[in-house]
């Protein structure tokens, strides 16, 4: 297979896998840690209006979704890529970081969560996935 095509497909697969993992964790989070009474987490507007009701425990699964989603996407890309595994894995991390920045700008969240999420959930998880693949290959 053409290396450019294989690398392109690796990035697409990483974005797809990472997004599926992220959304799966977000969707199951409400059944493990229920949202606060009166919180509407079905729409973006509802979340914006009721975000002040959320406690620190309600931010555990969003962080895990972002971190594990990024990790799985970067891992997938790095495993499939023909070459440039590090660059392509970091592209996945940067893509998810951009999504995290958009999320932080769209939804009001506590400053501690914003910092922890943006600093630890994206690029470090992509880097960890890349290092695991490099050990294996």
DSSP string over 75-92: HHHHHH-SS-HHHHHHHH
Report the chain's terminal Cα–Cα distance, integer Å: 19
pTM of the full structure:
0.92
In the prediction, which pLDDT does 130 show? 97
Return contacts of 46-53, CB within 8 angstroms, 24+ apart.
47/107, 48/106, 48/107, 48/108, 51/107, 51/108, 51/109, 52/108
Cα gap 103→137, rounded to integer Å: 34
In the prediction, which pLDDT does 50 show? 82
In the prediction, which pLDDT does 49 show? 84
In the prediction, which pLDDT does 24 show? 97
In the prediction, which pLDDT does 124 show? 97
In the prediction, which pLDDT does 131 show? 96
In the prediction, which pLDDT does 68 show? 98
- Supply 105's token pair: 């700008």
In the prediction, which pLDDT does 98 show? 97
Residues of the chain with pLDDT under 70: 137
Cα gap 109→131, rounded to integer Å: 31
């Amino acid at each position: 297979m053409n290396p450019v095509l294989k690398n392109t497909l690796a990035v697409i697969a990483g974005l797809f896998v990472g997004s599926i993992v992220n959304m799966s964790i977000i969707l199951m989070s409400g059944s493990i840690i229920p949202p606060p009474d009166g919180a509407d987490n079905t729409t973006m507007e509802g979340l914006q209006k009721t975000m002040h009701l959320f406690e620190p425990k309600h931010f555990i699964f969003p962080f895990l979704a972002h971190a594990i989603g990024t990790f799985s996407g970067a891992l997938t890309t790095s495993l499939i890529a023909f070459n440039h595994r590090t660059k392509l894995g970091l592209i996945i991390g940067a893509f998810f970081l951009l999504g995290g920045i958009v999320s932080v700008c769209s939804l009001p969240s506590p400053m501690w969560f914003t910092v922890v999420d943006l600093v630890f959930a994206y690029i470090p998880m992509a880097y960890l996935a890349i290092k695991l693949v490099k050990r294996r290959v």
